[in-house]
């Protein structure tokens, strides 16, 4: 018998095997964002109580591609980069709870197991996908520069079907890279019961945001976005009614835990706030 160590599975006597180190987690990467408006009813139906639609522009959606390197506090993953690099594509909407506006990720695909597990822990509804995003580079003809006329594409596939593709052509500097993903995240952490018919064993509404952030100059421009149907996905149900804009930004972020907002629908007490 043993007290086990390790933040996540597999927990062992030493903790060495854990798929995830304990937070903080650090990220360096590039974000390609397309914001658009869909039918607000399609957003509302993805918000379980006690969440309500955002009071303004409730049909706004951000589809975000991210090309990341990430690591725990020691940074050991950076010297074994197969354990540090991953890409993701996520769909973010806004919602309101207790008088405050939150961002909420309703769909997300990643291409590494550590990112998948991290997301399930944080309440991101992660699946595996194949995600690609044009990279900027300062030399040669095979890459755009981050500046006027730079063209960046993002593509997403899962289960061997393309689900989304976007092209953003940068035009000018921008104060930020969109407003949809600009709030703290409000996510549910659910785990179904092992017993059939029983209520979820875990049912929490949690909030988190960056513990620290630094970013380069954001750029905005024109965006094209196509969504494709799949029998196993509903991303295309958030149909594109009006493009708001496209953005590109390089960022560095750290994440270091969040707060419990409600458990089984009951708001958490002051100790947790």
Site residues for a second copy, 148-167, by CB under 8 A, read 151, 153-155, 157, 159-162, 165, 167
Footprint on residues 232-251 left by a second copy (CB under 8 A)? 232-234, 250-251
Residue 47 sits in the site that holds a second copy (CB under 8 A): yes
**Do you find a cis peptide bond into 24, omega within 30 degrees of 0?**
yes
Q: Which is nearer to a second copy, 33 or 134 (CB)?
A: 134
Residue 14 CB, shortest distance to a second copy, in Å, is 7
CB-based burial label for 162 (10 Å; 0-12, 13-18, 19+): middle
Residue 17 CB, shortest distance to a second copy, in Å, is 5
Size of interface with a second copy, in residues (CB under 8 A): 115
Q: Which is nearer to a second copy, 53 or 178 (CB)?
A: 53
Residue 177 sits in the site that holds a second copy (CB under 8 A): no
Residue 2 sits in the site that holds a second copy (CB under 8 A): yes
Of the listed pieces 56-64, 171-179, 187-195, 240-248, which binds a second copy according to CB under 8 A?
187-195
Asked if 29 and 71 touch (Cβ cutoff 8 Å), the reply is no
Read off φ and ψ for residue 100, nearest 5 degrees: -125, 150
Among residues 142, 70, 137, 79, which one has the least CA distance to residue 110? 70
Candidates 100, 173, 201, 222: give the one binding a second copy (CB under 8 A): 201
- Report the DSSP beta bridge partners of residue 133: 154
Q: Which is nearer to a second copy, 5 or 182 (CB)?
A: 5
Residue 267 CB, shortest distance to a second copy, in Å, is 15
Chain centroid to Cα 119, Å, comes to: 8
Query: Does the CA dihedral 127-42-50-265 come out positive or negative?
Result: negative
Residue 237 CB, shortest distance to a second copy, in Å, is 8
Q: Which is nearer to a second copy, 57 or 204 (CB)?
A: 204
Candidates 55, 56, 75, 182: give the one binding a second copy (CB under 8 A): 75
Chain centroid to Cα 154, Å, comes to: 15
Among residues 204, 207, 176, which one has the least CA distance to residue 96? 207
Of the listed pieces 54-62, 176-184, 229-237, 240-248, which binds a second copy according to CB under 8 A?
229-237
Footprint on residues 83-142 left by a second copy (CB under 8 A)? 83-85, 106-108, 112-113, 116-117, 120-123, 125-128, 130, 132-135, 137-142
Residue 137 CB, shortest distance to a second copy, in Å, is 4
Residue 10 sits in the site that holds a second copy (CB under 8 A): yes
Query: Does the CA dihedral 255-257-262-265 come out positive or negative?
Result: positive
Q: What is the 3-state secondary structure (H, E, C) of 2-48?
A: CCCECCCCCCECCCCCCCCCCCCEEEEEEEEEEEEECCHHHHHCCCC
Candidates 172, 195, 199, 270: give the one binding a second copy (CB under 8 A): 195
């Amino acid at each position: 018998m043993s007290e086990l160590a390790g933040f996540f599975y597999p927990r062992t006597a030493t903790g060495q095997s854990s798929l995830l180190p304990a937070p903080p987690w650090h990220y360096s990467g590039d974000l390609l964002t397309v914001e658009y408006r869909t039918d607000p009813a399609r957003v509302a139906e993805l918000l379980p109580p006690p969440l309500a639609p955002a009071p303004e522009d409730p049909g706004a959606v951000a589809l975000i591609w991210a090309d990341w390197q990430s690591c725990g506090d020691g940074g050991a993953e950076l010297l074994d980069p197969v354990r540090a690099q991953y890409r993701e594509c996520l769909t973010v909407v806004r919602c309101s709870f207790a008088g405050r506006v939150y961002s909420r990720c309703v769909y997300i695909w990643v291409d590494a197991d550590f990112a998948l597990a991290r997301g399930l822990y944080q309440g991101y509804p992660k699946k595996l996908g194949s995600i690609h995003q044009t990279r900027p580079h300062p030399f040669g003809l095979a890459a755009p520069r981050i500046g006027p006329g730079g063209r960046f594409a993002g593509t997403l596939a899962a289960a061997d079907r393309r689900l989304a593709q976007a092209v953003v052509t940068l035009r000018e500097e921008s104060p930020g890279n969109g407003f949809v993903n600009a709030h703290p995240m409000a996510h549910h952490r659910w785990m179904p019961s092992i017993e059939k018919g029983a209520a979820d064993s875990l049912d929490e509404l949690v909030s988190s945001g960056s513990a620290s952030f630094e970013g380069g100059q954001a750029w905005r421009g024109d965006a094209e976005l196509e969504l494709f149907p799949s029998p196993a996905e509903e991303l295309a149900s958030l149909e594109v009614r009006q493009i708001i804009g496209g953005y590109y930004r390089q960022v560095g972020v750290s994440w270091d835990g969040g707060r419990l907002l409600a458990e089984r629908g009951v708001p958490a007490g002051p100790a947790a706030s």
